[in-house]
Chains A and B, each alone.
Chain A
Amino acid sequence: MSIRTEPVTINLGPQHPSTHGVFRLRVTFDGETVVDVDPVFGYMHRGTEKLAETRSYVQIVTLTDRLDWVSSMSNNLAYVRAVEALCEIEVPQRAQFLRVIAAELQRIASHLMATGFLVNDMGAFATPLMYCFRERERILDLFEILCGARITLSYMRPGGVFQDAPKAFWDNLDALMKEMPIYIDELESLVTTNEIVLARSKNVGVLTAEQSINGSLSGPMLRASSVDWDIRKSNPYEIYDKLNFEVPIGKNGDVFDRYLVRIKEMRESLKIIGQCVDMISEGPVRADVPYNIRPPAGDIYSSIEAPKGELGFYLVSDQSISPYRCKIRSPSFMNLSLLREMLVGWKMSDLIVILGSVDFVMGEVDR
């Protein structure tokens, strides 16, 4: 005897612990199977792009902190790089090294959080998450020493960074570099071979390479689908062309591969930081740039590899002290574009895991 079922539409969010922010997903279920999804954005729209039009170029740095608040350094870097390209500012070497060290630390912090929440969504309630948070806390402590804040950093300025790193930073960084690989090993031994994790994540939410390219995904999401694309390699910015590191690639494009790619990227980031610490030399950390920058008229698009993917800023200047237009290409928003392909056909509990594997932050999606 077959049971007659009818599709039911329910709202996941906007206030739901597993949507990592105020994200609403209207899901149509047939029994427990997802048949359609309809994402609704905009609950956290703060008009960053519009606000940027009334702020001076330096002031906008503080706005970028609040885009993806778990990786403010990368946002700072993406923005200041766009301004520097617009005004053709030469950045001192030491500043570039400092910026790369900071951005890679931020990548580790962001991936730790992504991994923690992914495992949390799989039902390993809070324990691995707390381990991740404990290690992330070490990085935030470093940031506090470096720039006086933990989340809203505003460390970088067009033309460099605002101030050189103090001595305490280097000492603490050395200690962290020694301990972090142990932490990552520990996290891996907790998660990677765990049967529940494997059962919940292997071959779940698969995206093929073709699909992810067509959906213009980027970052670990794209690389998990075995596409070798990393802006640090393909279009090296700052000093990445002098550094020796690998870009981890996944095989299947499932949730598990996304997790693995993030873990491997953390190790690569540690490698990068180690090389930077060896190579950094003395010198100025800020180019001679006025407080109120008036770039020549024109437009520029410049992007970096943020922890979540390609983060780009498109700036249009009309020679005034604030940009005429500031468009932000945020990786979280783009990575959500293939939700339907990933979710349809899976069960309700897989939906949460797949959402967790996307690793999006709503501040960046709604801007």
Chain B
Amino acid sequence: MYGLGLLKGLIVTMKNLISPGRMFTIHQYPDRKISPLGLSKLEGKNVISWGINNPVKFLKSLLGLISVPDKIAQSPRFRGQEFTWYEQRCTGCASCAKYCPLGIIKIVTSPSGKAVPEGQKYAIDVFDIDIGRCMFCGLCVEACPYDALHMGSGFEEGTYQRKDLVINVDRLKSAPKKPSTWFRPQLEELGYDPDSGDEITWDQIGRHERPSLSDQEDKWVKR
């Protein structure tokens, strides 16, 4: 019979319109309209008593005039912008720069105050990452032998000029240290989640056991 298929299709569409699990949720990113129910829940109160105490807010939210920031769930491995870099761990070996398929990492080092043979690292003068060209493949992070470079977790880095997209060493130093757990199994073992967790310091993030000071002296300083 003609029309049966059309009818079936209409039923499917109707089901999607009304059944709660199947509805399209529209994220009004970055803000989400919130109902009185949600708002009272946010404040940890019963909706009735909250509504009686805050009638204006209640009415406003009922009319859809109140919105709260909306954050879409993000997995800890998310490869985000704004690389997390630990000055204390980086030796300036430039493995990351060599491994980047696009060659967008620029590193300039100079021997630091103390002589290099003493086991001291190089001072890092320039560490530019041009994230305007970066494709967030994470190969640089994979290449870093000292766990100094990590993917970031943010993604809102809109700027007005392309040149602002070059992350230089100062920005890397001052950036919030919330690394993604991508290619960092030790962070996953910690159960670290950059989305909700705190900043993490350089000595917590290493993959290898740190040699003791005497060990270091034996191995490297008094060679």
Is A214's beta carbon under 8 Å from chain B?
A: no
Q: Considering the chains assembled together, what is the distance between the CA atoms of A197 and B24 in angstroms? A: 24
Q: Considering the chains assembled together, what is the distance between the CA atoms of A222 and B151 in angstroms? A: 42
Is B188's beta carbon under 8 Å from chain A?
A: yes
Is B110's beta carbon under 8 Å from chain A?
A: no
Q: Considering the chains assembled together, what is the distance between the CA atoms of A198 and B12 in angstroms? A: 18
Identify which of B12, B136, B188 contacts A152 (C-beta below 8 A): B136
Q: Considering the chains assembled together, what is the distance between the CA atoms of A146 and B76 in angstroms? A: 10
A residues less than 8 Å from B143 (CB atoms): 291
Q: Is the CB of A148 within 8 A of B180?
A: yes
Interface of A is mostly: helix
B residues less than 8 Å from A144 (CB atoms): 74-75, 77-78
Q: Is the CB of B4 within 8 A of A193?
A: yes
Identify which of B6, B16, B135, B183 contacts A62 (C-beta below 8 A): B135
Is B139's beta carbon under 8 Å from chain A?
A: yes
Beta-carbon contacts of A158-176 to B below 8 Å, as 1s and 0s?
0000111010100000000
Size bin of chain B's contact surface? 20 to 34
Contact A162 to B135, CB < 8 A, known contacts A168-B75, A193-B4: no
Q: Is the CB of B137 within 8 A of A152?
A: yes
Identify which of B99, B135, B182 contacts A291 (C-beta below 8 A): B99
Q: Is the CB of B79 within 8 A of A190?
A: no
Identify which of B2, B13, B99 contacts A195 (C-beta below 8 A): B2
Question: Which residue, B6, B101, B151, has most C-beta atoms of chain A within 10 A?
Answer: B101
Identify which of A61, A63, A195 contacts B3 (C-beta below 8 A): A195
Q: Which residue of B has the minimal Cβ distance to A163?
A: B183
Q: Measuring CB to CB, which residues of chain A are less than 8 angstroms from any residue of chain B?
A: 55, 58-59, 61-63, 65, 127, 130-131, 134, 141, 144-149, 152, 154, 162-164, 166, 168, 186, 189-191, 193-198, 291
Is B142's beta carbon under 8 Å from chain A?
A: yes
Q: Chain A nearest CB: distance from B194 CB in Å?
A: 11
Is B64's beta carbon under 8 Å from chain A?
A: no
Q: Is the CB of B138 within 8 A of A190?
A: no
Q: Is the CB of A193 within 8 A of B137?
A: no
A residues less than 8 Å from B142 (CB atoms): 162, 291
A-B pair number, CB within 8 angstroms: 82
Is B185's beta carbon under 8 Å from chain A?
A: yes
Identify which of A148, A194, A195 contacts B138 (C-beta below 8 A): A148
Contact A190 to B9, CB < 8 A, known contacts A62-B101, A163-B183, A195-B3: yes
B residues less than 8 Å from A162 (CB atoms): 142, 183
Q: Which residue of B has the minimal Cβ distance to A124?
A: B9
Is B208's beta carbon under 8 Å from chain A?
A: no
Q: Considering the chains assembled together, what is the distance between the CA atoms of A58 and B142 in angstroms? A: 11
Q: Is the CB of A163 within 8 A of B185?
A: yes
Identify which of A62, A130, A154, A189 contacts B8 (C-beta below 8 A): A189
Q: Is the CB of A58 within 8 A of B139?
A: yes
Q: Is the CB of B78 within 8 A of A195?
A: no
Q: Is the CB of B79 within 8 A of A148?
A: yes
B residues less than 8 Å from A190 (CB atoms): 8-9, 12-13
Beta-carbon contacts of B121-148 to A below 8 Å, as 1s and 0s?
0000000000000011111001100000
Contact A62 to B77, CB < 8 A, known contacts A190-B8, A193-B8: no
Contact A149 to B136, CB < 8 A, known contacts A144-B77, A162-B183, A189-B12: yes
Question: Which residue, B74, B142, B151, has most C-beta atoms of chain A within 10 A?
Answer: B142
Beta-carbon contacts of B1-40 to A below 8 Å, as 1s and 0s?
0111110110011011000000010000000000000000
9 A/B residue pairs, CB under 8 Å, sorted by A: A59-B99, A61-B137, A127-B13, A144-B74, A148-B78, A148-B79, A166-B76, A166-B77, A190-B12
Q: Which residue of B has the minimal Cβ distance to A179?
A: B21
Q: Considering the chains assembled together, what is the distance between the CA atoms of A66 and B164 in angstroms? A: 26
Q: Is the CB of A198 within 8 A of B101?
A: no
Q: Is the CB of A130 within 8 A of B24?
A: yes
B residues less than 8 Å from A65 (CB atoms): 137
Q: Considering the chains assembled together, what is the distance between the CA atoms of A280 and B185 in angstroms? A: 20
Q: Considering the chains assembled together, what is the distance between the CA atoms of A186 and B8 in angstroms? A: 10
